Amino acid sequence: MAKIDMGRSRFKIQRRLGIELPGLGKAGALERKPYGPGQHGMQRKKLSDLTIRLMEKQKVMFNYGLRENQLVNYVKKCKKIKTQSWVDTLIVVLESRLDNVVFRLNWAPSIPAARQTVSHKHILVNGKVTNVPGYLLKPGDVVEITDKGAKSGNYLQAHARPRITSIPAFLSKETVGEKEKAKLVSKPLAEDIPFAFEKRLVIEYYWKIK
Protein backbone atom coordinates (compact mmCIF):
# COMPACT_ATOMS: atom_id res chain seq x y z
CA MET A 1 0.00 0.00 0.00
CA ALA A 2 1.42 3.38 -0.98
CA LYS A 3 2.22 5.67 1.91
CA ILE A 4 1.45 9.33 2.25
CA ASP A 5 4.58 11.49 2.12
CA MET A 6 4.95 12.77 5.66
CA GLY A 7 8.62 13.71 5.25
CA ARG A 8 7.71 17.23 6.28
CA SER A 9 7.18 17.71 9.98
CA ARG A 10 3.57 17.43 11.04
CA PHE A 11 4.11 20.62 13.04
CA LYS A 12 5.39 22.44 9.94
CA ILE A 13 2.39 21.33 7.89
CA GLN A 14 -0.02 22.66 10.50
CA ARG A 15 1.92 25.91 10.98
CA ARG A 16 2.04 26.51 7.23
CA LEU A 17 -1.73 26.01 6.99
CA GLY A 18 -2.33 28.02 10.15
CA ILE A 19 -4.52 25.40 11.78
CA GLU A 20 -4.31 22.31 13.98
CA LEU A 21 -5.35 19.16 12.14
CA PRO A 22 -6.34 16.46 14.64
CA GLY A 23 -5.80 13.63 12.15
CA LEU A 24 -2.06 14.32 12.12
CA GLY A 25 -1.97 13.47 15.81
CA LYS A 26 0.45 16.20 16.91
CA ALA A 27 -1.24 18.73 19.15
CA GLY A 28 0.27 22.10 20.05
CA ALA A 29 1.66 23.00 16.64
CA LEU A 30 0.57 26.64 16.96
CA GLU A 31 1.06 27.14 20.71
CA ARG A 32 4.69 28.27 20.70
CA LYS A 33 5.01 29.38 17.07
CA PRO A 34 1.67 30.60 15.71
CA TYR A 35 3.21 31.50 12.35
CA GLY A 36 4.52 29.72 9.29
CA PRO A 37 7.74 27.68 9.31
CA GLY A 38 11.03 28.84 7.85
CA GLN A 39 13.21 31.94 7.93
CA HIS A 40 10.41 34.23 6.73
CA GLY A 41 7.57 32.55 8.59
CA MET A 42 6.77 35.60 10.72
CA GLN A 43 6.51 37.93 7.74
CA ARG A 44 3.03 38.74 6.50
CA LYS A 45 2.49 37.45 3.00
CA LYS A 46 -0.23 38.32 0.55
CA LEU A 47 -1.60 35.04 -0.69
CA SER A 48 -3.12 34.61 -4.12
CA ASP A 49 -6.68 33.35 -4.47
CA LEU A 50 -5.34 30.08 -5.87
CA THR A 51 -3.01 29.61 -2.90
CA ILE A 52 -5.84 30.23 -0.44
CA ARG A 53 -8.00 27.60 -2.19
CA LEU A 54 -5.06 25.19 -2.38
CA MET A 55 -4.39 25.50 1.35
CA GLU A 56 -8.04 24.80 2.16
CA LYS A 57 -7.90 21.65 0.03
CA GLN A 58 -4.66 20.63 1.73
CA LYS A 59 -6.36 20.77 5.12
CA VAL A 60 -8.62 17.92 3.98
CA MET A 61 -5.83 16.01 2.25
CA PHE A 62 -3.43 16.11 5.21
CA ASN A 63 -5.98 15.58 7.98
CA TYR A 64 -7.38 12.42 6.37
CA GLY A 65 -3.99 11.26 5.06
CA LEU A 66 -4.94 11.16 1.39
CA ARG A 67 -2.91 11.48 -1.78
CA GLU A 68 -4.07 14.01 -4.37
CA ASN A 69 -5.30 11.32 -6.78
CA GLN A 70 -7.31 9.68 -3.98
CA LEU A 71 -8.97 12.96 -3.11
CA VAL A 72 -9.73 13.72 -6.76
CA ASN A 73 -11.36 10.28 -7.15
CA TYR A 74 -13.54 10.98 -4.11
CA VAL A 75 -14.47 14.39 -5.55
CA LYS A 76 -15.53 12.81 -8.87
CA LYS A 77 -17.71 10.23 -7.12
CA CYS A 78 -19.27 12.78 -4.77
CA LYS A 79 -20.14 15.13 -7.66
CA LYS A 80 -22.35 12.37 -9.09
CA ILE A 81 -24.47 12.33 -5.93
CA LYS A 82 -27.07 15.09 -6.15
CA THR A 83 -28.79 14.81 -2.75
CA GLN A 84 -26.67 17.57 -1.24
CA SER A 85 -23.63 19.71 -2.00
CA TRP A 86 -20.84 17.45 -3.27
CA VAL A 87 -18.39 18.86 -0.72
CA ASP A 88 -20.81 17.94 2.11
CA THR A 89 -21.00 14.45 0.65
CA LEU A 90 -17.19 14.36 0.52
CA ILE A 91 -16.89 15.13 4.23
CA VAL A 92 -19.48 12.48 5.09
CA VAL A 93 -17.56 9.90 3.03
CA LEU A 94 -14.20 10.77 4.60
CA GLU A 95 -15.66 10.69 8.11
CA SER A 96 -17.10 7.23 7.32
CA ARG A 97 -13.72 5.73 6.43
CA LEU A 98 -12.67 2.95 8.79
CA ASP A 99 -9.28 4.52 9.57
CA ASN A 100 -10.97 7.81 10.52
CA VAL A 101 -13.53 6.04 12.72
CA VAL A 102 -10.78 4.12 14.53
CA PHE A 103 -9.06 7.46 15.18
CA ARG A 104 -12.26 9.20 16.29
CA LEU A 105 -12.89 6.35 18.75
CA ASN A 106 -9.49 7.06 20.35
CA TRP A 107 -8.16 3.65 19.36
CA ALA A 108 -5.19 5.27 17.61
CA PRO A 109 -3.39 8.59 18.22
CA SER A 110 -3.60 9.75 14.60
CA ILE A 111 -5.14 8.71 11.29
CA PRO A 112 -1.81 7.31 9.98
CA ALA A 113 -1.61 5.24 13.18
CA ALA A 114 -5.24 4.18 12.72
CA ARG A 115 -4.43 3.09 9.17
CA GLN A 116 -1.63 0.94 10.56
CA THR A 117 -3.97 -0.54 13.18
CA VAL A 118 -6.45 -1.50 10.47
CA SER A 119 -3.76 -2.86 8.12
CA HIS A 120 -2.38 -5.06 10.91
CA LYS A 121 -5.79 -6.73 11.23
CA HIS A 122 -6.54 -5.36 14.69
CA ILE A 123 -10.08 -4.23 13.76
CA LEU A 124 -13.28 -6.22 13.26
CA VAL A 125 -16.29 -4.90 11.36
CA ASN A 126 -19.49 -6.82 12.06
CA GLY A 127 -17.39 -9.61 13.54
CA LYS A 128 -15.03 -9.98 10.57
CA VAL A 129 -11.44 -8.82 10.27
CA THR A 130 -11.27 -5.82 7.94
CA ASN A 131 -7.82 -4.60 6.94
CA VAL A 132 -8.83 -1.98 4.37
CA PRO A 133 -8.33 1.53 5.88
CA GLY A 134 -10.62 3.15 3.28
CA TYR A 135 -13.52 0.76 3.95
CA LEU A 136 -16.68 2.87 4.18
CA LEU A 137 -18.85 2.11 7.19
CA LYS A 138 -22.63 2.27 7.05
CA PRO A 139 -25.12 3.04 9.83
CA GLY A 140 -25.58 -0.10 11.93
CA ASP A 141 -22.05 -1.39 11.38
CA VAL A 142 -20.31 -2.57 14.55
CA VAL A 143 -16.58 -1.98 14.98
CA GLU A 144 -14.43 -3.83 17.52
CA ILE A 145 -10.76 -3.84 18.41
CA THR A 146 -9.12 -7.24 18.80
CA ASP A 147 -7.37 -8.39 21.98
CA LYS A 148 -4.03 -7.94 20.23
CA GLY A 149 -5.03 -4.50 19.02
CA ALA A 150 -5.98 -3.43 22.55
CA LYS A 151 -2.42 -4.22 23.64
CA SER A 152 -0.76 -2.38 20.78
CA GLY A 153 1.30 0.77 21.24
CA ASN A 154 -1.08 2.81 19.10
CA TYR A 155 -4.09 1.90 21.24
CA LEU A 156 -2.29 2.47 24.56
CA GLN A 157 -0.89 5.81 23.40
CA ALA A 158 -4.29 7.00 22.22
CA HIS A 159 -5.88 6.09 25.55
CA ALA A 160 -3.11 7.76 27.54
CA ARG A 161 -3.25 11.00 25.50
CA PRO A 162 -6.40 11.15 23.36
CA ARG A 163 -6.08 13.67 20.52
CA ILE A 164 -9.85 14.38 20.60
CA THR A 165 -11.44 13.83 23.99
CA SER A 166 -15.04 13.26 22.86
CA ILE A 167 -16.33 10.96 20.14
CA PRO A 168 -18.72 12.40 17.52
CA ALA A 169 -22.49 11.92 17.78
CA PHE A 170 -22.61 9.50 14.83
CA LEU A 171 -20.71 6.94 16.92
CA SER A 172 -21.60 5.11 20.13
CA LYS A 173 -19.02 3.22 22.16
CA GLU A 174 -19.30 0.70 24.96
CA THR A 175 -17.00 -1.59 26.92
CA VAL A 176 -17.92 -5.27 27.02
CA GLY A 177 -15.77 -7.02 29.58
CA GLU A 178 -12.31 -5.66 28.87
CA LYS A 179 -12.97 -4.98 25.20
CA GLU A 180 -14.33 -1.89 23.51
CA LYS A 181 -16.79 -1.95 20.67
CA ALA A 182 -18.57 0.80 18.83
CA LYS A 183 -21.43 1.29 16.41
CA LEU A 184 -22.04 3.75 13.62
CA VAL A 185 -25.48 4.90 14.76
CA SER A 186 -26.06 7.34 11.89
CA LYS A 187 -24.38 8.85 8.88
CA PRO A 188 -21.82 11.52 9.76
CA LEU A 189 -22.80 15.10 9.05
CA ALA A 190 -20.70 17.65 7.21
CA GLU A 191 -20.52 19.54 10.51
CA ASP A 192 -18.68 16.62 12.09
CA ILE A 193 -15.39 17.62 10.42
CA PRO A 194 -13.07 18.27 13.40
CA PHE A 195 -11.35 21.45 12.18
CA ALA A 196 -12.31 24.86 10.79
CA PHE A 197 -13.07 24.45 7.13
CA GLU A 198 -14.29 26.78 4.36
CA LYS A 199 -16.24 24.57 1.98
CA ARG A 200 -16.64 27.27 -0.68
CA LEU A 201 -12.89 27.42 -1.27
CA VAL A 202 -12.64 23.68 -1.93
CA ILE A 203 -15.62 23.88 -4.29
CA GLU A 204 -13.83 26.64 -6.19
CA TYR A 205 -10.52 24.72 -6.25
CA TYR A 206 -12.11 21.62 -7.80
CA TRP A 207 -14.66 23.35 -10.02
CA LYS A 208 -13.15 21.85 -13.21
CA ILE A 209 -13.32 18.27 -11.95
CA LYS A 210 -16.22 16.36 -13.54
Tell me whether residue 5 is in a domain.
no
Could you tell me which residue, 163 or 114, shows the higher pLDDT?
114
Over the chain, what is the mean pLDDT? 88
200-208 mean pLDDT: 95
Tally the domains of the chain: 2
Tell me whether residue 117 is in a domain.
yes
Q: Are residues 115 and 134 in the same domain?
A: yes
How far does Cα 11 stand from its chain's mean position?
Answer: 16
pLDDT band at 52 (very low <50, low <70, confident <90, very high): very high
Tell me whether residue 125 is in a domain.
yes
pLDDT band at 33 (very low <50, low <70, confident <90, very high): low
CB atoms within 10 A of CB 99: 27
**Is pLDDT of 41 > 60?**
no
Q: Are residues 182 and 144 in the same domain?
A: yes
Q: Are residues 101 and 172 in the same domain?
A: yes
**Is pLDDT of 40 > 90?**
no
Tell me whether residue 89 is in a domain.
no
pLDDT band at 5 (very low <50, low <70, confident <90, very high): very low
Q: Are residues 72 and 130 in the same domain?
A: no
172-197 mean pLDDT: 90
Q: Are residues 180 and 199 in the same domain?
A: no
Tell me whether residue 107 is in a domain.
yes
User: Model's pTM, two decimal places?
Assistant: 0.87
**Is pLDDT of 38 > 90?**
no
Distance CA 68, CA 57 (A): 10
Tell me whether residue 124 is in a domain.
yes
Distance CA 109, CA 163 (A): 6
For 38-52, 114-128, 175-189, which range has the lowest pLDDT when averaged over its residues?
A: 38-52
Helix axes 68-79 and 49-63, enclosed angle (nearest 10): 100
Q: Are residues 107 and 55 in the same domain?
A: no
Tell me whether residue 3 is in a domain.
no
Tell me whether residue 14 is in a domain.
yes
**Is pLDDT of 74 > 80?**
yes
Q: Are residues 71 and 109 in the same domain?
A: no
Domain that holds residue 138: 94-190
Q: Are residues 111 and 167 in the same domain?
A: yes
Distance CA 155, CA 128 (A): 19
How far does Cα 198 stand from its chain's mean position?
Answer: 16
For 3-7, 23-27, 55-59, which range has the lowest pLDDT when averaged over its residues?
A: 3-7
Sheet containing strand 128-129, strands side by side: 128-129, 123-125, 142-145, 179-184, 171-176
**Is pLDDT of 136 > 60?**
yes
pLDDT of residue 8: 56
- pLDDT digit string, tens, across residues 77-95: 999 998 999 999 999 999 9
Q: Are residues 176 and 106 in the same domain?
A: yes
Say which CATH number the domain at 42 has.
Answer: 1.10.1050.10
